[in-house]
Structure 1
């Protein structure tokens, strides 16, 4: 009778070692095939909150939760006549994020508004702080970044209801649905990341006093590069191009502006982050005949903007 090949190879210890090695090789090949089917090892850096005014594609793992504070402040608009003037408006957002799957995040939030304006063209003089409304952010990431595929795509939709118009600070019922097509990439492993957003934001506001309805929309492109300069510390430049329209479907072009500025992101701890971004208008044009010869567009946009964001995962 033919013998089993293993019985012809040395001692029982040698045979046991060969069997063990074979099992290890089979297991390793299976894991490698699994990683290959998934496109390689996932990127360790979470780009969701890495950038400034630009959003990242990443969502958390299934079951992860996060508490966030996100505030955008806008400062300086065109004065209305001689004398001192000032404009500052901030919209803080407190939100809770839950990830029902590895590729989907759901983030309801509460909006607030605080502002102070005096002697500004087209903006009434007022100073107050108040609760402003709510939002629901939904983001779907189509695929994760890996060693073999260092880029990713996501779609983010954020319906929002607010009680205050964003520029004038007037009482109104304001409905908007900001929609972002998000792309980002790991350009240099463990060193450099880039992000790009295409943003469409239609808005309808009904005045609580007169009942007048105002419809507008913006179309924007933002991009950034973030470099890792130390363990947990990232810095880089960011650029935004924004176009304002009358009508919710980009009906009539009103003006545009270009913003540039720096971004800083710091991983405070393993599950926490802090992001600070500053953006200033370096070019703009307003089609309103009263302001068309001015250097900037300070009718639809402010001169300066700051974004402060921090959160904790659990």
Structure 2
């Protein structure tokens, strides 16, 4: 039962840029060996983050060798710098699930539905609303809960600062303010106001074949629990790296690594715990109008403040998964 797509605006991030860099280097060697070619030359993100798998024709005046594959959604949780063509409208259904705590039964779902409109070559806007669902039984610190409900709304803004079609790499800036009425992890009623910010880098390493992404994400927010009327503030930071190899222009496989670090306090000021996730990614363009993409990642390392046990299952889960559907108009 897909009931735990993890806290939509709260993917927790980063412990050491070094850890992600080492893991990304190892992934590069594996993918290069699979490709049988020499590379030339992660993202919350996200994105969240984050988004259209598929084939696109090069815009007029731009070199064709950079424009065959839209990189936004080919990296799983990480995101490429592409934002679509001016005037393009895209509907996206993004589902993120989180599964497994140290004991008990835990599954959570976070669903974000957006309509994206590319205003110009450099700017895109995407309003959306979210649903969340949980199935929790016997998890210490969480009340037993099973429900699906409307959980909030968000507005995504993206600005392409560097276009990979005319530069050695692409860079897009991401901002997404939002409001939530349900806690994605526990299902309890809340009033939450926050935002996430990201820098999304990508680069084509082997022409039309091998692509790399690196994302830096930061999220912050204030939350009031309805039952207690108490406020809390938290924040998170995430480094993401991913490599994707195009078996065919419409079919892309890859590997992604995320380093997540969680904090009490809205300005990364009181460390609470961290975790590293890794797993395979895929993207498949079914037709010119329809694409799907996703990933399944497992926590491979982590620790919570004051807990010497392996993995961090306080702020994070054993598994996190993503499945995304994109419709182009």
Taking structure 2 as the reference length, the TM-score comes to 0.79
Question: Which aligned runs of 4 or more in structure 1 are off by greater than 4 angstroms?
Answer: 38-42
Cα offset, 1:61, TM superposition: 1.1
Matches of 1:209 and 1:240, distance apart in 2: 34
Cα offset, 1:286, TM superposition: 0.6
Query: In the alignment, is the contact (CA less than 8 A) between 2:66 and 2:207 conserved in 1?
Result: no
Give the match for residue 109 of structure 1: 128
Matches of 1:72 and 1:178, distance apart in 2: 16
Q: Which runs of 5 or more residues in structure 2 are unaligned?
A: 1-59
Instruction: Specify which of 45, 65, 76 is matched with residue 52 of structure 1.
Output: 76
Query: In the alignment, is the contact (CA less than 8 A) between 2:197 and 2:217 conserved in 1?
Result: yes
Query: In the alignment, is the contact (CA less than 8 A) between 2:160 and 2:172 conserved in 1?
Result: yes
2:167 paired with 1:141: no
Give the match for residue 74 of structure 1: 98
Higher relative contact order (CA 8 A, sep 6+): 2
Matches of 2:314 and 2:207, distance apart in 1: 42
Give the match for residue 251 of structure 2: 233
Deviations 1:95-130 (A, max 9, x none): 100011111111111100111001112211110011
Deviations 1:278-308 (A, max 9, x none): 0110001111x3xx11101000111101100
Query: In the alignment, is the contact (CA less than 8 A) between 1:245 and 1:254 conserved in 2?
Result: yes
Query: In the alignment, is the contact (CA less than 8 A) between 1:218 and 1:243 conserved in 2?
Result: yes
2:235 paired with 1:211: no
Give the match for residue 300 of structure 1: 315
Instruction: Specify which of 176, 180, 186 is matched with residue 204 of structure 2.
Output: 186
Query: In the alignment, is the contact (CA less than 8 A) between 1:123 and 1:167 conserved in 2?
Result: no
| Number of positions where the alignment pairs a residue of Structure 1 with one of Structure 2 | 270
Give the match for residue 88 of structure 2: 64
Cα offset, 1:41, TM superposition: 5.9
Matches of 1:41 and 1:192, distance apart in 2: 13
SS at structure 1 position matched to 2:200? strand
Give the match for residue 118 of structure 2: 99
| Rg larger in structure | 1
Matches of 1:150 and 1:121, distance apart in 2: 49
Give the match for residue 14 of structure 2: none
2:289 paired with 1:271: yes
Matches of 2:74 and 2:285, distance apart in 1: 9
Give the match for residue 264 of structure 2: 246
Q: Which runs of 5 or more residues in structure 1 are unaligned?
A: 1-33, 80-84
Greater mean deviation of Cα atoms: 44-53 or 107-116:
44-53
Instruction: Specify which of 102, 108, 132 is matched with residue 89 of structure 1.
Output: 108
Matches of 1:95 and 1:175, distance apart in 2: 19
SS at structure 1 position matched to 2:286? strand
Give the match for residue 326 of structure 2: 311
Matches of 1:42 and 1:54, distance apart in 2: 19
What do you get for the CA RMSD once the two structures are aligned?
1.5
Cα offset, 1:276, TM superposition: 1.7
Query: In the alignment, is the contact (CA less than 8 A) between 1:150 and 1:187 conserved in 2?
Result: no
Taking structure 1 as the reference length, the TM-score comes to 0.83
SS at structure 2 position matched to 1:142? strand
SS at structure 2 position matched to 1:101? coil
> Given the superposition, is the C-alpha separation of residues 40 and 150 from structure 1 closer, same or farther in structure 2, using an over 3 Å criterion?
farther
Matches of 1:298 and 1:41, distance apart in 2: 44
> Given the superposition, is the C-alpha separation of residues 139 and 199 from structure 1 closer, same or farther in structure 2, using an over 3 Å criterion?
same
